[in-house]
Amino acid sequence: MKEFQLIEHFFRDHGLKRRDVELGIGDDCALVNPAENKSLAISCDTLVENIHFLPDMPASALGYKALAVNLSDLASMGAEPAWMTLALTMPRVDKQWLTEFSQGLFEAAEYYGVSLVGGDTTRGPLAMTITIHGQVPQGKALTRAGANNGDWIYVTGTLGDSALGLDILLGKQQASEKHKSYLIGRHYSPTPRVLAGQALRTLATSAIDLSDGLASDLQHILNASSLGALIDVDKLPLSNALLETVSKEQAINYALAGGEDYELLFTVPESQRGAIDTALLHAGVKFVKVGQVCAGEKLKFIQNGVPFQPGFAGFEHF
């Protein structure tokens, strides 16, 4: 199967067709029509075999996750997903793999309202790059730089499950049948908090998605805002599956530094704490307060009221 046949068969006429796409796959460029008074939010993520995913990862899960991690970036800025391009590099054409990969990709795309409008296919080691575009009302986007001294720090969902799921796949940890599928599922199929991000646009002062671990990602907000923070590790949201599979100390370290949770971390002033409850309830997302922004430029942790030192650092790309 040649390149254009591959694109035609697996990608061109599949997935959601948005009305704001004037020209999609098949030309030198796509043409889209952004809404008035909206800013474009653009993000790009690459997944490389043996770096970001294991060779035996199911193709459908890989297609879903490739888009989900990009959607999480849009969520952290309060943007509404709209369009994407896909650059797919493969060592060979495997029709069954492509069928399953595209099914997973379009499952996520249709659920979150995203149209595939272009991309590229090449031969080489398996890797995929998605560039996603979203829209956010002008002046309303959440960023990393808005936190203020005294703001409360919240996170959505539970933390550490994905990293433990990966370690189970790698044979580094064992889990009961009761928890194994859940933990691996959290690694394969993260839930981008798109609606939560939109609900936070007028309430939060800063936000980031948790891709490299809370300790690393919160530091990005603190660096951008020139502030410090104090995190109470006893307040970290930990699932029963995590707590029943590893020790409490290991669970805390997974939550702080495991990475690939793709939950949202955001800061909220005291005046908006009540409004947050209502907004995220409507978005259907659980959340919990884990700490507070403070003066200075250090990120500190406590447990039972005394200083706590995490057991390992967050993920580093280089």
- Residues annotated in a binding site: 28, 43, 45, 52, 73, 119-120, 144, 209, 211-212, 260, 315
Alpha helices in 48-193 (DSSP H): 59-76, 95-112, 161-169, 177-188
Count of all residues that appear for the chain in the document = 318
Distances in Å between the Cα of 203 and the Cα atoms of 20, 50, 273, 280 are: 29, 39, 8, 11
Are 160 and 254 contacting, i.e. CB atoms less than 8 angstroms apart? yes
**Residues that constitute the known binding site for Mg(2+):** 28, 43, 45, 73, 120, 209, 212
DSSP string, 24-59: -BTBSS-EE-PPTTEEEEEEEEEEEBTTTB-TTS-H
Which residues, in sequence order, are CB contacts of 85 under 8 Å at separation 6+?
30, 116, 117, 118, 119, 130, 131
| Sequence letter at residue 45 | D
**Residues that constitute the known binding site for substrate:** 52, 260, 315
Q: Report the C-alpha gap between 83 and 28 in whole angstroms.
A: 16
Residue with tokens 């995929």: 128
Which of 262, 66, 87 lies closest to 158, judged by CA?
Answer: 262
**Residues that constitute the known binding site for ATP:** 119-120, 144, 211
Q: Report the C-alpha gap between 194 and 71 in whole angstroms.
A: 7
CA 111 to mean position of chain CA atoms: 16
Q: Report the C-alpha gap between 6 and 120 in whole angstroms.
A: 11
Q: Report the C-alpha gap between 292 and 231 in whole angstroms.
A: 7
Residue with tokens 């995220």: 280
Q: Report the C-alpha gap between 116 and 86 in whole angstroms.
A: 8
